[in-house]
Amino acid sequence: MNFLTENTRSIFDRNINLLGDLDKAIYFFREQQYEKALRIVAESIDMVKLSLEAIIKEQDYFDLVTTQALMEMLSGILEAKKNKDFILLADLLELQLVNFLIGVQELIIDKEEILFDEENYNDNIRLLLVHGIGFPETLSEPVDTEGLMKKGYRIEFTSCGQMTLAAENDGVSFYFHSNHKVREEAFLLAKSWVESNRQRYILYGFGLGYHIRELQELAGEAEIEIYEADLNVMQLACAFGEVKELLKQKRITVIYDPEFKLLKDRANQLSTEEKLVVHYPSYLNTGLDEGKKLLKEMVPMLKALDAL
């Protein structure tokens, strides 16, 4: 994005991380996992203060609420935390702070201009070619974003400030990630996959990488193998996703498998310490009939959904 000021950019980037962390804290409060929730709140509160102070300095730009209202919101959150009223604290975080930060993000998105960060894209592609498996050298050629859009792919801002991806298959359009709270959706999905006895996860579907980020945070030291058949998706992930840190990690391997041969062989060799999971939108994006057939054999839920 082409931000008017560095302060605006800092607010925007900080809020992306804040929203992801606060949604997790709210989830843990609702489950009465108070120690986890309070740890996240303690780590986030300084960032909250920084963000609110920066927003107050840019009152002419934001003009959402008064300084007094912001201070009252922060005071209420701190008071509920002090009183250990975790029901109220979760409500204040969700209904006041998170909603306010989303409003800030949406306002910035409305005012600023989206620009393609070519340097970031090239860095990500280099990492993918070095650490990934099976990716062609032609991937280093300039990305044709306009051509990808003509093929039915769409990149859109979400209300939290991150990007989501949409695509078309057989005349049907679908999204890879939420249009609202991207990290919350990715966190809940990854949490449904994680099992304490697994040492390796075999995942089909890269998307923009959000679910992979959450999986690697939740899965301890477990290794993660990601298989992807759509090179266009990988290009868009490198252009608009937050994948740099994922691609650098030794315990994460990304494998290009356009004909599903590698995944088929891998699925036949699963041990009891490994788990195979499928990112459903990536399954919808599969254009190869043999690929869809293989995924349905591996995950019976997919066959059941197709029958509905």
Domain with residue 214: its CATH number is: 3.40.50
Whether 162 and 276 map to the same domain: the answer is yes
Whether 20 and 165 map to the same domain: the answer is no
**Pairwise CA distance, residues 233 & 231, whole Å:** 5
Whether 135 and 234 map to the same domain: the answer is yes
Per-residue pLDDT at 191: 97
Model pTM score: 0.93
Q: Which amino acid is at 197?
A: N
DSSP annotation of 133 reads: B
Whether 84 and 138 map to the same domain: the answer is no
Q: Please state whether beta strands 252-256 and 223-228 pair in parallel, antiparallel, or not at all (unpaired).
A: parallel
Range of the domain at 297: 118-306
Phi-psi sector, 100: left (phi>0), alpha (psi -120 to 50), beta = alpha
* CA geometry: angle 247, 250, 252, nearest 5 deg: 60
Whether 203 and 272 map to the same domain: the answer is yes
**Which among 68, 88, 111 is the end of a domain?**
111
Whether 84 and 204 map to the same domain: the answer is no
Task: For the chain, 308 residues long, give each residue's pLDDT as a single digit of tens.
Answer: 555 577 888 899 999 999 999 999 999 999 999 999 999 999 999 999 999 999 998 888 888 888 999 999 999 999 999 999 999 999 999 999 999 999 999 999 988 876 678 899 999 999 999 999 999 999 988 888 888 888 999 999 999 999 999 999 988 999 999 999 999 999 999 999 999 999 999 999 999 999 999 999 999 999 999 999 999 999 999 999 989 999 999 999 999 999 999 999 999 999 999 999 999 999 999 988 999 999 999 888 898 888 77
Return the residue matching tokens 């809940």: 188
Alpha-carbon distances, residue 49 vs 43, 184, 255 (angstroms):
12, 22, 41
Whether 102 and 123 map to the same domain: the answer is no
Q: Please state whether beta strands 172-175 and 163-169 pair in parallel, antiparallel, or not at all (unpaired).
A: antiparallel
**Pairwise CA distance, residues 239 & 118, whole Å:** 8
What b/e readout covers 2-11, taking b as 16+ CB neighbours within 10 angstroms? ebeeeebeeb
Whether 216 and 271 map to the same domain: the answer is yes
Please provide residue 92's backbone torsions phi and psi, each rounded to the nearest 5 degrees: -65, -40
Alpha-carbon distances, residue 182 vs 21, 42, 59, 63, 80 (angstroms):
11, 22, 27, 26, 27
Whether 24 and 71 map to the same domain: the answer is yes
Does residue 243 lie within any of the structural domains? yes
Per-residue pLDDT at 8: 85
Whether 30 and 91 map to the same domain: the answer is yes
Q: Please state whether beta strands 172-175 and 200-204 pair in parallel, antiparallel, or not at all (unpaired).
A: unpaired
Which residues are registered as beta bridge partners of 278? 204
Whether 218 and 287 map to the same domain: the answer is yes
Whether 258 and 132 map to the same domain: the answer is yes
**Which among 111, 135, 168 is the end of a domain?**
111
| Contact status, residue 91 vs residue 77, Cβ threshold 8 Å | no
Quote the number of domains for the chain.
2
Does residue 234 lie within any of the structural domains? yes
**Which among 48, 81, 111 is the end of a domain?**
111
Does residue 237 lie within any of the structural domains? yes
**Pairwise CA distance, residues 180 & 100, whole Å:** 14
Tokens of 263: 């995944």
Does residue 1 lie within any of the structural domains? no
